[in-house]
């Protein structure tokens, strides 16, 4: 159940916005961690470089991906799965940095999901023109655990729909530092990201980075 009232910051903008049953957008939640998050992404990407994966139907995704944690989400011609190893290197994914765990657990708790302990973080890099079409996160073992999504860099329009693909979809602008948490009744809701527009972010330049935390195994 969402709170009766959204919290309001000093500028009058909602800091916490309910977007569906069990789903919350936490505006600017990641800002206190931005420097540590970005440094950690660089370390991870040096060990497991961003790569554009292939879908089962043979298309190359516009979003470039890497992972950290005990398992990483991957796709290839054989399908979607969580893999403990980076298929490109054969090595385990880089460990999940403590700052990642802390932010994900804090955000989940604020959304009403205590004890969130993600074992996987998918890191998505959107250059201008990249997009992610409407889909469900359903490759995880335990749907009782929520999803935590952290936005960094260029803004993007987040689509959030329902459990059925034809359900109505709403759009929410996501800016640097925003965190979306969804779970419970909305755990399997369809979601996506519209084509990222060109622009320049002071810290990240011409890119959007998204961190998606999941309990996958």
Residues that bind DNA in the complex, under the rule CB under 7 A: 55-57, 59-63, 73, 75, 79-80, 122, 131-137, 139, 166, 192, 212
User: What are the start-end ranges of the H helices in 26-164?
Assistant: 34-47, 98-110
Residue 193 Cβ vs DNA, minimum distance, rounded to whole Å: 9
Nearer to DNA, 16 or 66 (CB): 66
Q: How far apart are CA 136 and CA 154, in angstroms?
A: 23
3-class DSSP assignment, residue 75? strand
Q: How far is the CB of 72 from DNA (least distance, A)?
A: 11
User: Shortest approach of DNA to residue 124 CB, angstroms?
Assistant: 8
Between 91 and 135, CB nearer to DNA: 135
- In 116-186, alpha helices (H): none
Q: Which is nearer to DNA, 55 or 144 (CB)?
A: 55
CA distance 186 to 33: 27
Annotated binding site for Fe cation: 135, 137, 191
Task: Specify whether the CB–CB gap between 66 and 49 falls below 8 A.
Answer: yes
Closest distance between DNA and the C-beta of residue 4, in Å?
32
Nearest approach in angstroms of CB 24 to DNA is: 19
Between 133 and 200, whose beta carbon lies closer to DNA?
A: 133
Which residues, 6+ apart, have CB-to-CB distance to 131 below 8 Å? 62, 63, 192, 193, 194, 195, 196
Cα torsion through 152, 134, 76, 180, rounded to 10: 30
**CA 29, CA 190: separation in Å to the nearest integer?**
23
**Which parts are annotated binding residues for 2-oxoglutarate?**
124-126, 208-214
> In terms of CB distance, is 155 or 192 closer to DNA?
192
Residue 165 and residue 124 in contact, taking contact as beta carbons nearer than 8 Å: no
- Which residues participate in the annotated binding site? 73, 80-82, 124-126, 135, 137, 139, 165, 191, 208-214
CA pseudo-torsion sign 126, 88, 56, 147 = negative
């Amino acid at each position: 159940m969402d709170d009766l009232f959204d919290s309001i910051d000093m500028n009058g903008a909602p800091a916490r916005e309910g977007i569906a049953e069990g789903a919350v957008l936490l505006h600017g939640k990641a800002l206190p961690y931005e420097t540590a998050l970005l440094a950690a992404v660089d370390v991870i990407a040096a060990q497991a470089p961003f790569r554009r994966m292939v879908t089962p139907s043979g298309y190359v995704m516009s979003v470039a991906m890497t992972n950290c944690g005990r398992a990483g989400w991957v796709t290839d011609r054989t399908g979607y799965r969580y893999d403990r190893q980076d298929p490109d290197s054969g090595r385990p994914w880089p460990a999940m940095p403590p700052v990642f765990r802390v932010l994900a657990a804090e955000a989940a708790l604020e959304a009403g999901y205590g004890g969130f302990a993600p074992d996987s973080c998918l890191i998505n890099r959107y250059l201008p023109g990249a997009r992610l079409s409407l889909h469900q996160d359903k490759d995880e073992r335990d749907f009782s655990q929520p999803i935590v999504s952290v936005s960094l860099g260029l803004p993007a329009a987040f689509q959030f729909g329902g459990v059925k693909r034809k359900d109505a979809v709403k759009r929410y602008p996501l800016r640097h530092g925003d965190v979306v948490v969804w779970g419970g009744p909305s755990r399997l809701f369809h979601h996506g990201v519209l084509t990222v527009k060109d622009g320049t972010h002071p810290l990240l330049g011409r890119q959007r980075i998204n961190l998606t935390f999941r309990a996958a195994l």
